């Protein structure tokens, strides 16, 4: 009887662990254009993300690494896009089953938006950037890089 009870408890513990891991989208993700890979990682109790791969990492005319040219801070416009942190401070909301209350920076225009992440499948992540309300925004779907 003890063996059966122990097996049942171990099985339940493993299944709870699997559920908890399924909602943490750690790893490398390709954006929906295929031009960029972003690594999502823990930053304390929250999630952050940085650019770890660019299809075209260098400027065609100069051969220099692509820089954050549209950054609103002129002092940061020469920093490379590679390793640039673009996701900030996402916290998990178990009621909504998503990571939210964070920000996403778009180096194409230099704007920062409110953001949430929702894992819609094992290898698919909805990334929604918005201003003000999540209903008014744009979703992108990233795919896990193996």
One digit per residue, pLDDT tens: the chain, 146 residues? 444 333 433 343 333 343 344 379 999 999 999 999 999 999 999 999 999 999 999 998 999 999 999 999 999 999 999 999 999 999 999 999 999 999 999 999 999 999 999 999 999 999 999 998 778 889 999 999 98
Closest CA to 114 of 85, 87, 84, 142: 87
pLDDT at 132: 85
pLDDT at 17: 40
User: pTM of the prediction?
Assistant: 0.81
Place of tokens 């960029």: 36
What DSSP element (H or E) covers 21?
Answer: helix 2-22
pLDDT at 146: 87
Domain ranges of the chain: 25-144
Closest CA to 54 of 32, 38, 72: 38
Considering the four listed CATH numbers 3.30.420.40, 2.40.128.520, 3.30.1330.40, 2.60.60.20, the one that applies to the domain covering 25-144 is 2.40.128.520
């Amino acid at each position: 009887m003890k063996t059966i009870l122990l097996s049942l408890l171990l099985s339940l513990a493993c299944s709870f662990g699997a559920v908890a891991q399924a909602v943490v989208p750690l790893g490398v993700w390709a954006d929906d254009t295929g031009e960029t890979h972003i690594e999502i990682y823990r930053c304390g109790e929250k999630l952050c993300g940085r650019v770890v791969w660019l299809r075209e990492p260098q400027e065609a005319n100069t051969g220099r690494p692509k820089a954050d040219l549209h950054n609103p801070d002129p002092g940061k416009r020469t920093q490379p896009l590679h390793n640039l942190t673009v996701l900030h401070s996402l916290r998990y909301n178990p009621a909504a089953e998503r990571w939210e209350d964070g920000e996403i920076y778009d180096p194409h225009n230099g704007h920062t938006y409110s953001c949430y992440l929702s894992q819609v499948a094992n290898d698919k992540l909805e990334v929604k950037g918005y201003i003000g309300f999540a209903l008014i925004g744009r979703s992108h779907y990233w795919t896990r890089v193996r």
